[in-house]
Amino acid sequence: MTALESAKKIKAKFGDLISEPAEFRGEISVKLADAEQITAVCEFAKTELGFNYLVDISSVDNYGDDPRWTVVYHLRAIVDGAEIRIKTDVNEEKSELPSVLPVWRTANWHEREIYDMMGIRFSGHPDLRRILMWEGYPYFPLRKDFPLAGKPSDLPGVAFTKTAPLEGGPFVTVAGGKDAISREPRIRNPEE
Protein backbone atom coordinates (compact mmCIF):
# COMPACT_ATOMS: atom_id res chain seq x y z
CA MET A 1 0.00 0.00 0.00
CA THR A 2 1.40 3.37 -0.88
CA ALA A 3 1.67 6.17 1.64
CA LEU A 4 -1.06 8.16 -0.13
CA GLU A 5 -3.54 5.27 0.05
CA SER A 6 -2.74 4.85 3.74
CA ALA A 7 -3.27 8.54 4.37
CA LYS A 8 -6.63 8.33 2.65
CA LYS A 9 -7.59 5.35 4.79
CA ILE A 10 -6.70 7.26 7.94
CA LYS A 11 -8.80 10.16 6.67
CA ALA A 12 -11.72 7.84 5.90
CA LYS A 13 -11.56 6.39 9.40
CA PHE A 14 -11.18 9.61 11.40
CA GLY A 15 -13.02 11.99 9.08
CA ASP A 16 -12.72 15.70 9.77
CA LEU A 17 -10.06 15.20 12.43
CA ILE A 18 -7.54 14.46 9.70
CA SER A 19 -6.51 17.05 7.12
CA GLU A 20 -6.16 16.37 3.41
CA PRO A 21 -2.86 14.54 2.76
CA ALA A 22 -0.16 17.01 1.72
CA GLU A 23 2.75 15.97 -0.46
CA PHE A 24 6.17 17.59 -0.47
CA ARG A 25 9.27 16.01 -2.06
CA GLY A 26 7.42 12.71 -2.29
CA GLU A 27 6.57 12.61 1.39
CA ILE A 28 2.99 12.40 2.62
CA SER A 29 1.93 14.35 5.72
CA VAL A 30 -1.43 14.52 7.41
CA LYS A 31 -2.41 16.77 10.27
CA LEU A 32 -4.51 15.62 13.19
CA ALA A 33 -6.78 18.34 14.56
CA ASP A 34 -7.26 16.92 18.06
CA ALA A 35 -4.03 15.90 19.80
CA GLU A 36 -6.01 13.80 22.29
CA GLN A 37 -6.70 11.31 19.49
CA ILE A 38 -3.05 10.71 18.58
CA THR A 39 -2.85 7.33 20.31
CA ALA A 40 -5.98 6.11 18.53
CA VAL A 41 -4.71 7.29 15.13
CA CYS A 42 -1.31 5.67 15.68
CA GLU A 43 -2.89 2.45 16.91
CA PHE A 44 -5.04 2.36 13.76
CA ALA A 45 -2.02 3.07 11.54
CA LYS A 46 -0.06 0.30 13.17
CA THR A 47 -2.64 -2.46 13.40
CA GLU A 48 -4.71 -1.81 10.26
CA LEU A 49 -2.22 -0.21 7.87
CA GLY A 50 0.98 -1.98 8.90
CA PHE A 51 3.03 1.00 10.09
CA ASN A 52 4.91 -1.12 12.59
CA TYR A 53 8.05 1.03 12.81
CA LEU A 54 8.13 4.44 14.46
CA VAL A 55 11.14 6.18 12.93
CA ASP A 56 11.16 9.34 14.98
CA ILE A 57 9.14 11.86 16.93
CA SER A 58 10.11 15.52 16.52
CA SER A 59 8.72 18.69 17.97
CA VAL A 60 8.57 22.20 16.59
CA ASP A 61 8.18 25.42 18.58
CA ASN A 62 6.00 27.82 16.55
CA TYR A 63 6.97 30.69 18.83
CA GLY A 64 4.53 33.57 18.60
CA ASP A 65 1.80 31.47 17.01
CA ASP A 66 -1.08 29.69 18.65
CA PRO A 67 -1.02 26.70 19.10
CA ARG A 68 2.63 26.89 20.01
CA TRP A 69 3.77 23.27 19.69
CA THR A 70 3.71 20.87 16.77
CA VAL A 71 4.59 17.25 17.45
CA VAL A 72 5.64 15.28 14.38
CA TYR A 73 5.52 11.48 14.10
CA HIS A 74 7.34 9.62 11.33
CA LEU A 75 5.85 6.20 10.68
CA ARG A 76 7.17 3.46 8.44
CA ALA A 77 5.91 0.07 7.33
CA ILE A 78 8.94 -2.22 7.39
CA VAL A 79 7.24 -4.60 4.93
CA ASP A 80 6.99 -2.26 1.94
CA GLY A 81 8.89 0.80 3.13
CA ALA A 82 5.87 3.14 2.94
CA GLU A 83 6.30 6.23 5.10
CA ILE A 84 3.84 8.73 6.45
CA ARG A 85 4.12 11.74 8.69
CA ILE A 86 1.43 12.60 11.24
CA LYS A 87 1.49 16.04 12.81
CA THR A 88 -0.58 17.44 15.61
CA ASP A 89 -0.71 20.78 17.39
CA VAL A 90 -0.73 21.37 21.12
CA ASN A 91 -1.36 24.76 22.70
CA GLU A 92 0.92 26.29 25.27
CA GLU A 93 -1.51 26.33 28.22
CA LYS A 94 -2.05 22.61 27.89
CA SER A 95 1.39 21.50 26.68
CA GLU A 96 0.29 17.91 27.05
CA LEU A 97 -0.81 15.10 24.75
CA PRO A 98 -1.24 11.34 25.16
CA SER A 99 1.79 9.09 24.92
CA VAL A 100 2.10 6.63 22.03
CA LEU A 101 4.22 4.34 24.19
CA PRO A 102 1.47 1.64 24.22
CA VAL A 103 1.73 1.51 20.42
CA TRP A 104 5.51 1.49 19.93
CA ARG A 105 7.93 1.08 22.80
CA THR A 106 10.58 3.10 20.99
CA ALA A 107 8.44 6.17 21.76
CA ASN A 108 9.72 6.03 25.35
CA TRP A 109 13.00 7.88 24.79
CA HIS A 110 11.71 10.08 21.99
CA GLU A 111 8.97 11.44 24.27
CA ARG A 112 11.38 11.90 27.15
CA GLU A 113 13.63 13.89 24.83
CA ILE A 114 10.78 16.15 23.70
CA TYR A 115 9.77 16.73 27.31
CA ASP A 116 13.39 17.54 28.15
CA MET A 117 14.02 19.89 25.23
CA MET A 118 10.62 21.55 24.71
CA GLY A 119 8.69 20.94 27.91
CA ILE A 120 5.76 19.16 26.27
CA ARG A 121 4.36 16.50 28.60
CA PHE A 122 3.04 13.11 27.52
CA SER A 123 0.18 11.82 29.63
CA GLY A 124 0.36 8.11 30.32
CA HIS A 125 4.14 7.97 29.97
CA PRO A 126 5.35 5.90 32.92
CA ASP A 127 8.77 7.49 33.30
CA LEU A 128 8.73 11.08 32.03
CA ARG A 129 12.13 12.29 33.23
CA ARG A 130 14.73 14.50 31.62
CA ILE A 131 17.06 12.50 29.43
CA LEU A 132 19.78 14.72 27.92
CA MET A 133 19.86 17.52 30.48
CA TRP A 134 20.31 16.66 34.13
CA GLU A 135 17.53 16.13 36.63
CA GLY A 136 16.64 19.49 38.18
CA TYR A 137 17.70 21.62 35.21
CA PRO A 138 15.23 24.52 35.23
CA TYR A 139 14.81 25.39 31.51
CA PHE A 140 13.73 23.82 28.22
CA PRO A 141 16.63 24.65 25.90
CA LEU A 142 15.11 24.03 22.45
CA ARG A 143 12.33 26.58 22.96
CA LYS A 144 12.72 29.56 20.69
CA ASP A 145 12.69 31.98 23.64
CA PHE A 146 15.67 30.22 25.19
CA PRO A 147 18.81 32.09 24.08
CA LEU A 148 21.60 30.33 22.19
CA ALA A 149 24.02 31.63 24.78
CA GLY A 150 22.19 29.71 27.47
CA LYS A 151 21.06 31.00 30.84
CA PRO A 152 23.08 30.99 34.04
CA SER A 153 22.50 27.94 36.16
CA ASP A 154 23.91 26.76 39.47
CA LEU A 155 26.81 24.87 37.93
CA PRO A 156 30.17 26.67 38.32
CA GLY A 157 31.97 27.75 35.17
CA VAL A 158 34.73 25.18 35.22
CA ALA A 159 35.26 24.93 31.50
CA PHE A 160 37.28 28.11 30.90
CA THR A 161 40.04 28.73 33.41
CA LYS A 162 43.24 29.54 31.52
CA THR A 163 43.96 32.41 29.14
CA ALA A 164 44.10 31.39 25.48
CA PRO A 165 47.26 32.30 23.53
CA LEU A 166 45.41 34.45 20.98
CA GLU A 167 43.09 36.11 23.45
CA GLY A 168 41.62 39.38 22.30
CA GLY A 169 41.37 38.33 18.66
CA PRO A 170 37.99 38.63 16.90
CA PHE A 171 37.30 34.90 16.70
CA VAL A 172 38.75 33.86 20.02
CA THR A 173 36.70 32.74 22.94
CA VAL A 174 37.18 35.04 25.89
CA ALA A 175 38.29 33.03 28.89
CA GLY A 176 37.34 33.86 32.40
CA GLY A 177 34.45 33.65 34.78
CA LYS A 178 31.93 35.67 32.76
CA ASP A 179 28.85 34.26 31.09
CA ALA A 180 28.68 32.65 27.67
CA ILE A 181 27.52 35.85 25.95
CA SER A 182 30.83 37.59 26.49
CA ARG A 183 32.82 34.39 26.12
CA GLU A 184 31.72 33.09 22.75
CA PRO A 185 32.36 35.33 19.70
CA ARG A 186 29.60 33.77 17.57
CA ILE A 187 26.83 34.92 19.88
CA ARG A 188 28.02 38.39 20.76
CA ASN A 189 25.30 40.81 19.83
CA PRO A 190 26.40 43.00 16.94
CA GLU A 191 24.84 46.17 18.39
CA GLU A 192 26.87 45.94 21.57
Partner 1 sequence: MATVQDIEVRDSAARTAAAADELQDVQGEKMVLNMGPSHPATHGVLRIVLELDGEIITRADPDVGYLHRGDEKIAENMTYTQFIPYTDRLDYLAPLANNVAYALAVEKLLGIHDKLPPRCQYIRVMCAELARISAHLLGLGAFAMDMGAVTVFLLSFTEREKIYNLAEAISGARLTTSYTRIGGVMRDLPPGWLDQCQKFCDEFIPALNEFETLLTRNRIWVDRVRDLAVISKSDAIDYGLSGPNLRGSGVEYDLRKNQPYLCYKDLQFDIPTGAVGDCYDRYLVRMEEMRQSARILEQCIKKIPGGADNQTNEPVNVADGKITLPPKQKVLSSMEELIHQFMLVTEGVNCPPGEIYFGHENPKGELGFYINSKGGGTPYRLKIRAPSFVNLSIVPKIFVGTMISDTVAILGSLDFVMGECDR
CA–CA separation, 186 and 172 (whole Å): 9
Distances (CA, A) of 69 to 58, 162, 167, 185: 11, 42, 42, 31
Query: Exposed, middle or buried: residue 65 (CB in 10 Å: 0-12, 13-18, 19+)?
Result: exposed
Give the shortest CB-61-to-partner 1 separation in angstroms. Answer: 7
Figure out which of the listed residues 15, 16, 20, 25 binds partner 1, where binding follows CB under 8 A.
25
CA–CA separation, 25 and 22 (whole Å): 10
Give the shortest CB-24-to-partner 1 separation in angstroms. Answer: 5
Say whether residue 104 binds partner 1 (CB under 8 A).
Answer: yes
Nearer Cβ to partner 1, position 142 or 175?
Answer: 142
Give the shortest CB-19-to-partner 1 separation in angstroms. Answer: 14
Figure out which of the listed residues 1, 40, 72, 174 binds partner 1, where binding follows CB under 8 A.
72
Binding mask 32-61 for partner 1 (x = CB under 8 A): --------------------xxxxx-xxxx
Are the CB atoms for 101 and 115 separated by under 8 Å?
A: no
Say whether residue 1 binds partner 1 (CB under 8 A).
Answer: no
Q: How many residues does the chain have?
A: 192
Name the residues that contact partner 1, by CB under 8 A. 24-25, 27, 29, 52-56, 58-61, 72, 74, 78, 81, 83, 85, 104-106, 108-110, 113, 117, 130-134, 141-142, 146, 148, 187
